[in-house]
Amino acid sequence: MDVIKNFLLSPKLYISTAIVVICVAVWFLYKQFIKRFSQKKKFDFKKEANLKTVSVCIKYLLIIFAAITVLQIYGINVTSIITGLGVAGIIVGFALQDILKDLIMGINIVWDDFFTVGDYVSYGNVTLGKITHFNLKVTKIYDLKTGNTVTVSNRNINEITKLSDWLLIKIPYPYEIDLEKAKEISNIICDKIKNTVSVKSIKYLGITEFADSSVNHLIKANCKLEKFLQIKRDILGIIYSVFEENDISVPYQKIDINLYN
């Protein structure tokens, strides 16, 4: 009974309680400040992710501070505990190294602005994908070609390509077509695209390649990436129809075979 009485009347109990209450109050005030601040200003993906990271760090720093302070008040050797935790941390680190790699890479993605949710990207076998979800551990990419959602561990994202809203399409002309005729046909194609396809702008750029069976000219269309695939199909259809109207055959690779007696 005396032990309980001494414990309840001990100044250490009140000091420890005060420290815990102060830490909880600091965390509560911080959360309220962030809530009001975020209501006034609309955060983009990068700022929101940075804020979450900072909030997690502050939370655990307060917990560690309160725990260490209370232990010191009761005369417990904190140094030996920290040393023991350090050894245990190394063991746990080896066991959870993949998760730690994910978290580190997730932080790098945020700070270096690799991409944001809503960006269109190319990654691995996904040539046209949209970032639909991101956290410090995983990234989800919606493949617009297949309709599949690809989940990637952040540790595997060493390189990813953010796609622009420019669509580049080659127009293959036979070598028999002279340059001025090719330019004329290309401009007709651009006019038809402008009038029938929902592109923001269209531009003829000129010759881009001397291929095996064709001289490839290039057009550049500015369009919404979510409609990228359909717009590409529409443009290819227009190219084919204009070729038919002007009696131009689509070039294909030919093989010459010479027979000698």
CATH number at residue 222: 3.30.70.100
Task: Report pLDDT for 30.
Answer: 80
Cβ atoms of 204 and 183 within 8 Å: the answer is yes
Residues 147 and 181 in one domain: no
Q: Would residue 207 count as lying in a domain?
A: yes
Task: Report pLDDT for 93.
Answer: 55
Number of domains in the chain: 3
Question: Could you report the per-residue pLDDT of 72-131, keeping only the tens digit for each?
Answer: 777 777 666 666 556 555 555 555 677 778 878 887 887 777 888 888 899 988 888 999
50 has pLDDT over 70: no
CA nearest neighbour of 131 among 149, 147, 104, 145: 149
For residues 168-173, give the mean pLDDT.
93
Q: Would residue 73 count as lying in a domain?
A: yes
For residues 217-238, give the mean pLDDT.
90
pLDDT band at 142 (very low <50, low <70, confident <90, very high): very high
Report the predicted TM-score, pTM, of the whole model to 2 decimal places: 0.58
For residues 151-173, give the mean pLDDT.
89
Residues 23 and 80 in one domain: yes
Domain ranges, residue 154:
114-162
Angle between helices 45-73 and 78-95 (to 10 degrees): 140
Residues 170 and 145 in one domain: no
Token readout for 59 is: 């939370």
Cβ atoms of 242 and 250 within 8 Å: the answer is no
Residues 77 and 155 in one domain: no
The rounded percent of the chain whose pLDDT value lies above 90 is: 27
Residues 30 and 91 in one domain: yes
Integer Cα distance of 68 and 76 in angstroms? 9
For residues 133-149, give the mean pLDDT.
88
Using alpha carbons only, what angle is made at residue 188 by residues 182 and 194, rounded to the nearest 5 degrees?
135
Residues 187 and 135 in one domain: no
57 has pLDDT over 70: yes
Tell me the sheet residues that pair with 144: none
Q: Would residue 106 count as lying in a domain?
A: no
